[in-house]
Chain A
Amino acid sequence: MWEYTDKVKDHFLHPRNVGEVEDADAVAEVGSIACGDALKLSFKLDENKRIKEVKFKTFGCASAIATSSALTEMIKGMTLEEAEKVTNQDIANYLGGLPQEKMHCSVMGREALEKAIAIYKGTVPKETEGKIVCECFGVTDLEIERAIRENNLATLEDVTNFTKAGGGCGNCHGAIQEIIDRVRGELSTKPPERPKLSNIQKIKRIEETIEREIRPSLKLDGGDIELIDVVGNRVLVATRGACASCQASNQTLKHFVEAKLRELVWPELVVEEVSQ
């Protein structure tokens, strides 16, 4: 069961501003039924160009309904310039927080608001921009990048929680990781200082990492590896046990052994299999 705040529950069980504004100045729809949530937002401005009336219709989980309700309460009375500044984090904060896995609901709220304002102003709708990365949920690279920047996201799981991208078949995980790496690279103004390792220190750390972090996991599946040599950043290993005959051992070497060594020893290491 999700741990929703009392405010989320209140806005779900007693949603404010449900419906569609008559003679609305702008109506925006985001999401789709295939994706599992969708939000239709409509508003009307008063003579001072402030949001006089705003209503929503939402298909989705309790937190999607609650964030929609919260959003309408928040922006009522705002000018469009003020409303444009509302972030997904503001919506989540208004509700006393959302479970991490549900942050995408707040992103959907912000997207609907942005789209409605764009439609009102007659500017280009957002969705034509960017390139679809996640086919399952129709999420673009620009949306992912923006979520990373605005919410300081660091992992694939974060990106899925905030945008749903990567939450389906998983084919796009590599592409999302590339975006994370690129954006985070740009976010950190200077790369963190890495202590230089002597060759001996490097080999020693590789040995320790294999022994402590890698071998126990491989052994669970009856496999093993042996360190043969280290040449520059090339780590030469031989597979043993079940790994030696396993078709997936290449994957294991790249995605597990190399990733671990890069993380814990040196980021430029490359693992290569040699037959010995």
Chain B
Amino acid sequence: MKTIYLDNNATTQVAPEVLEAMLPYFHDLYGNPSSMHSFGGQVGRKLREAREQVAALIGAVPGEIIFTSCGTESDNAAIRSALISQPEKRHIVTSRVEHPAIKALCAHLTDQGYRVTELPVDGEGRIDMDQYEKSLTPDTAIVSLMWANNETGVIFPIEAAAQMARSRGILFHTDAVQAVGKIPIDMSKSAVNMLSISGHKLHAPKGIGVLYVRKGTKFSPFLIGGHQEKNRRGGTENTPSIIALGKACELAAQNMELENTKVKALRDKLENELLARIPNSRVNGDRVNRLPNTTNISFEFVEGEGILLMLDEFSICASSGSACTSGSLQPSHVLRAMGVPFTMAHGSIRFSLSIYNTEEEIDFVIEKLPSIIETLRGMSPYWKVGDRICSTY
């Protein structure tokens, strides 16, 4: 059976053009970009081009792009740099719905004596900007807020938040791994100091990331070693993947409109049809300020893992914020922070689309999912047949 991949916030397929661009750099053009000879030098030139391609996608200048190994490394590098370069400041502001790359790092830093403010979110996954503003203190070294949430797709007002930080002389970092390539981002008109990108979320391979560091921002390297990346990240460059990411960013710029038209239309169709066909279901998160490719839907009184395994029988790939799939015994921290009731949180499914999805695929899911939910509800002691009213929360 053909795989129907609706889990693109987890990872994406490497685009055929991207694969083609990177392949020669494994075998034929394996030179070290730092070498003096022209065999290596030609790779160095290609890296420059990739840096320009990445910079162009986010309105940056090439010197502001540091290649890293992944989004997590970029996040760690950003926060640690901010703390090291301002040793007198001991406070971090972030949110309760961040990716573990930020959340776990901040928990670790709390153990080290730093003070961390985790801003709460409302039922739609939004932060309160007044509360955010009040959390900024003279002791605040850095704010780190994600641009778009990986589980719900909810977009934070990053530009406004960054402006508020800048006016107080506070560094601002954003984990933008889900946002880059899906919504327009322009660093030339922004107050953001640092921004993380992950290659495999936008059709480049796994194992390549970027940390954007605004020109003039003090930076202390996370990986200390050779002079690569202008002494900002030691280690021989992952040349095939950097070249791949450059190509992926060029494609993302071309496909941005498609993301916000075709992909969005497919997402909306999937969402609306499922809500219409399956009683006691709802969307988690702000439906207005949201990535065009993501929907997080809860089906009351069933558990997400069962839904995923039954979808798997049809080769449909999605993910869930249920306890059984979260790797812990509680539903996702994002849904809990939003106060999604337990009856709903356990049965949440995230579908995340890409430009490679087709209408046929979406129709197939719309056809199959209602009976899956019905089967599981038939086994659930909480589901009463004929129950059509969602309890008010």
Query: Which of A45-53, A145-153, A245-253 faces chain B?
Result: A245-253
Q: Which residues on the B side are within 8 Å of A56 (C-beta)? A: 379
Q: Which residues on the B side are within 8 Å of A245 (C-beta)? A: 113
Closest Cβ–Cβ distance, residue B230 to chain A (whole Å) = 25
Residue of B nearest to A242 (CB): B112
User: In the complex the two chains form, is A18's CB within 8 Å of B301's CB?
Assistant: no
User: In the complex the two chains form, is A167's CB within 8 Å of B380's CB?
Assistant: no
Query: What 0/1 pattern do residues 79 to 100 of A give for CB contact below 8 A with B?
Result: 0000000000000000000000
Question: Is A119 interfacial (CB 8 A cutoff)?
Answer: no
User: In the complex the two chains form, is A18's CB within 8 Å of B378's CB?
Assistant: yes
The CA of A239 and the CA of B243, in the complex, are separated in Å by 47
The CA of A248 and the CA of B381, in the complex, are separated in Å by 46
Determine which of A29, A39, A136, A246 lies in contact with B113 in the assembled complex, contact meaning CB atoms within 8 Å: A246
Question: Is A221 interfacial (CB 8 A cutoff)?
Answer: yes
Interface centre among A33, A56, A62 (most CB of B within 10 A): A33
Interfacial residues of chain A within 23-59, with CB under 8 A of chain B in the complex: 29, 33-34, 36-40, 56-59
Residue of B nearest to A134 (CB): B329
User: In the complex the two chains form, is A37's CB within 8 Å of B379's CB?
Assistant: no
User: In the complex the two chains form, is B113's CB within 8 Å of A59's CB?
Assistant: no
Query: Which of B124-132, B250-258, B281-289, B304-312 faces chain A?
Result: B304-312
Query: Which of B64-72, B174-182, B320-328 faces chain A?
Result: B320-328
Question: Is B382 interfacial (CB 8 A cutoff)?
Answer: yes
Q: Is the interface of A mostly helix, strand, loop or mixed?
A: mixed
Known: A57-B379, A167-B330. A248 touches B111 (CB 8 A): yes
Interfacial residues of chain A within 1-18, with CB under 8 A of chain B in the complex: 2, 9, 12-13, 15, 18
The CA of A12 and the CA of B329, in the complex, are separated in Å by 20
User: In the complex the two chains form, is B382's CB within 8 Å of A38's CB?
Assistant: yes
Q: Which residues on the B side are within 8 Å of A18 (C-beta)? A: 378-379
User: In the complex the two chains form, is A248's CB within 8 Å of B342's CB?
Assistant: no
Determine which of A15, A36, A246 lies in contact with B303 in the assembled complex, contact meaning CB atoms within 8 Å: A36
User: In the complex the two chains form, is B379's CB within 8 Å of A65's CB?
Assistant: yes
User: In the complex the two chains form, is A36's CB within 8 Å of B324's CB?
Assistant: yes
Residue of B nearest to A34 (CB): B342
Sorting the interface of chain B by its residue count into under 10, 10 to 19, 20 to 34 or 35 or more gives: 20 to 34
Question: Is B153 interfacial (CB 8 A cutoff)?
Answer: no
The CA of A65 and the CA of B302, in the complex, are separated in Å by 11
Interfacial residues of chain A within 96-127, with CB under 8 A of chain B in the complex: none
Question: Is A137 interfacial (CB 8 A cutoff)?
Answer: yes
Sorting the interface of chain A by its residue count into under 10, 10 to 19, 20 to 34 or 35 or more gives: 35 or more
Query: What 0/1 pattern do residues 372 to 385 of B give for CB contact below 8 A with A?
Result: 00000011111000
Query: What 0/1 pattern do residues 16 to 30 of B give for CB contact below 8 A with A?
Result: 000000000000000
Q: Which residues on the A side are within 8 Å of B346 (C-beta)? A: 33, 36, 59
The CA of A232 and the CA of B324, in the complex, are separated in Å by 48
Question: Is B205 interfacial (CB 8 A cutoff)?
Answer: no
Residue of A nearest to B377 (CB): A59
User: In the complex the two chains form, is B323's CB within 8 Å of A36's CB?
Assistant: yes
Q: Which residues on the A side are within 8 Å of B328 (C-beta)? A: 167
Question: Is A67 interfacial (CB 8 A cutoff)?
Answer: no
Query: What 0/1 pattern do residues 41 to 66 of B give for CB contact below 8 A with A?
Result: 00000000000000000000000000
The CA of A167 and the CA of B331, in the complex, are separated in Å by 11
Interfacial residues of chain A within 160-179, with CB under 8 A of chain B in the complex: 160, 164, 167-168
Determine which of B113, B306, B382 lies in contact with A65 in the assembled complex, contact meaning CB atoms within 8 Å: B306
Q: Which residues on the A side are within 8 Å of B378 (C-beta)? A: 18
Closest Cβ–Cβ distance, residue B91 to chain A (whole Å) = 14
Closest Cβ–Cβ distance, residue B173 to chain A (whole Å) = 21
User: In the complex the two chains form, is B380's CB within 8 Å of A58's CB?
Assistant: yes
Residue of B nearest to A166 (CB): B329
User: In the complex the two chains form, is A248's CB within 8 Å of B330's CB?
Assistant: no
The CA of A29 and the CA of B382, in the complex, are separated in Å by 11
User: In the complex the two chains form, is A61's CB within 8 Å of B324's CB?
Assistant: yes
Question: Is B343 interfacial (CB 8 A cutoff)?
Answer: yes
With A36-B322, A245-B113 given, can you name 6 additional A-B contacts, CB distance below 8 Å? A18-B379, A29-B381, A33-B346, A34-B342, A62-B305, A251-B111
Partner-A contacts on B (CB < 8 A): 111-113, 301-303, 305-306, 309-310, 313, 322-325, 328-331, 342-343, 346, 378-382
What are 30 A-B interface contacts by the 8 Å CB criterion? Answer: A9-B309, A12-B306, A29-B381, A33-B343, A36-B303, A36-B322, A36-B330, A36-B346, A38-B382, A56-B379, A57-B379, A57-B381, A59-B379, A59-B380, A59-B382, A60-B324, A61-B303, A61-B306, A61-B323, A61-B325, A62-B309, A65-B306, A136-B330, A160-B329, A167-B328, A167-B330, A168-B329, A221-B112, A246-B113, A248-B112
The 7 A-B pairs with the shortest beta carbon distances in the complex, nearest first, are: A167-B329, A61-B324, A40-B381, A57-B381, A61-B305, A36-B323, A59-B380
